[in-house]
Amino acid sequence: MAGATTLNHLSTPCLILDERKMNRNIIRLRSHTNKLGVSLRPHLKTAKCVEIAKRLLKDNNGTATVSTLKEAEVFSEAGVKDMIYAVGISPDKLNRVLELRAKGCDLSVLLDSKNQALAIVEASQRSGDPIPGLIEIDSDGHRSGLKGDDPEIAVIGRMLHEGGAELRGVLTHAGESYHAKGAEELAAFAERERAAAVTAAKILRGAALPCPVVSVGSTPTAHFASDLSGVTELRAGVFVFFDLVMAGIGVCMLDDIALSVLTTVIGHQNERGWVIVDAGWMALSSDRGTKDQTIDQGYGIVCDVDGHVLQDLIVTMANQEHGIIALRPGSVAKIPVLPVGTRLRILPNHACATATQFDGYHLLPANSKNQMEYWPRFRGW
């Protein structure tokens, strides 16, 4: 509901974005990368919103990371002209890549195999446009990529460089850092990430091949890296909002989480200690990212309408359109009086998964004198 003046005027469930916290999160990571002497290439997949992208890309020459070609298309139209499509390229998507590049977007693609390299080379030769490719490096066994010392790196690099494409560099993402615990483990993941990417870059350069970009990053490692020697840029995405998974591993505090779902109490099951709200998994998402952490936050932590955490209240169960709020197991706290119609806010387990359930953000302005705004977001691939 665009044009609402307070949270009580919004139709629930809806997505709330605290501008003050978002700005603070952006400044925090930007300051850290400046100290480390590397550029920040924000990942726009979490926000999927032009207004937020403007804030993320301020003062970084408009370089960004995306996870879908739809993101690349929308943000290119909004003026972002230097992007990495950081998902392994499939040959059928190369025509869309070429269309974007023909419109002035310097879009790079990601690969980790000779088959992908061949497809990129053929598309480059056919179009006369040398498509830039980054070789994906597996720094922690999380997902895709070649090991940092794999000789195949040079083979793939030469295919691109000598075949009419462009060898842009190497890229890695330490996704396993999401399962780390505490500063020491997070710092170790950051160093592992750096070392793998720098080793791969040395292989290319040792084979007399170019490697101008050495790209690393995840939100946990970005915040705990202390030495990025040999790295040229840092990528991160969820830091703009943060979430309960990030809080659970020690990357942020609960008060740093800028995103929440506004919901309304619609009933009670007093004998069971339940408060029922109109935000189920269709609003909160079914992501249970904290279930294996030290503290399981259910489907989200419950706050009052002003964003203050209510002691030990979590969403313990979620149906399609119903959320069940109760005390976390073992708690001796008392459930506060929450009559039907009470507005509450739920902090998300995974900001990306929760945000994608909604068409836009209702902005709580950093300046309390300003009107609430509505910022649309988009979906799709």
Q: What is the pLDDT of residues 348-373, one digit of tens each?
A: 999 999 999 999 999 999 988 889 99
Mean pLDDT of 267-271: 96
Mean pLDDT of 81-102: 98
More confidently predicted of 54 and 3: 54
Categorize the per-residue pLDDT at 2 as very low, low, confident or very high, splitting at 50, 70 and 90.
low
Whether residue 61 has pLDDT greater than 60: yes
Phi, psi (rounded to 5 degrees) for 95: -65, -40
Q: What is the mean pLDDT of the chain?
A: 96
Q: From the options 3.40.980.10, 3.20.20.10, 3.40.50.300, 3.40.50.1820, give the CATH code of 37-242.
A: 3.20.20.10
Q: What is the pLDDT of residues 314-327, one digit of tens each?
A: 999 999 999 999 99
Q: CATH 2.40.37.20 residue ranges in the chain?
A: 258-376
| pLDDT for the residue numbered 92 | 98
Whether residue 84 has pLDDT greater than 90: yes
Q: What is the pLDDT of residues 238-261, one digit of tens each?
A: 999 999 999 999 999 999 999 999
| pLDDT for the residue numbered 181 | 86
| Percent share of the chain, pLDDT over 90 | 94
Q: What is the pLDDT of residues 147-183, one digit of tens each?
A: 999 999 999 999 999 999 999 999 999 989 999 989 9
258-376 CATH: 2.40.37.20
Q: In the numeric block, which tokens belong to residue 78?
A: 């909004």
Mean pLDDT of 14-30: 98
Q: What is the pLDDT of residues 280-318, one digit of tens each?
A: 999 999 999 999 999 999 999 999 999 999 999 999 999
Q: CATH 3.20.20.10 residue ranges in the chain?
A: 37-242
